[in-house]
């Protein structure tokens, strides 16, 4: 399971690229805006997109380095705590 989970870290490149491309278009549009309040808002949005891209990319690096996916660990803990809950059909819950 370790090698296949490690490869999931490579998929972090896709959302990181999309977030950075979106921030480029926000900054490109921000150059055309004349209102200072809206210009400041554009810069804030661009910085938030950069932070989100950095978080997604660092999560991908973590998965590549350790071979542990945080969501997989949470699912395993849930299965250990209540295995019958996961086995029941959805209609009976």
Q: Indicate the SS3 state at residue 62.
A: helix
Q: Is residue 47 part of a domain?
A: yes
In this prediction, residue 63 carries a pLDDT of: 84
Please state the domain count of the chain.
1
Q: Determine the pLDDT at residue 85.
A: 60
In a domain, 53, yes or no: yes
Domain membership flag for residue 93: no
**Domain containing residue 7:** 2-87
* 92, part of any domain: no
66, part of any domain: yes
Q: pLDDT 10s per residue in the chain (93 long)?
A: 556 667 777 888 999 999 999 999 999 999 999 999 999 999 999 999 999 999 999 988 988 888 777 777 777 777 777 666 656 566 655
**Closest to 56 (Cα-Cα) out of 88, 91, 15:** 15
Q: How many of the other CB atoms lie within 10 Å of CB of 92? A: 5
The structure's pTM equals: 0.72
Q: Are 42 and 93 in contact (CB under 8 A)?
A: no
């Amino acid at each position: 399971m370790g090698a296949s989970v490690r490869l999931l870290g490579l998929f972090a490149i896709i959302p990181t690229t999309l977030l950075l491309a979106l921030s480029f278009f926000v900054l490109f549009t921000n150059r055309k805006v004349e209102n200072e309040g809206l210009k400041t808002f554009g810069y804030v949005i661009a910085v938030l997109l950069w932070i989100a891209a950095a978080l997604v990319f660092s999560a991908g690096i973590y998965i590549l380095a350790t071979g542990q996916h945080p969501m997989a660990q949470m699912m395993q803990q849930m299965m250990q705590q209540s295995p019958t809950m996961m086995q029941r059909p959805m209609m009976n819950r």
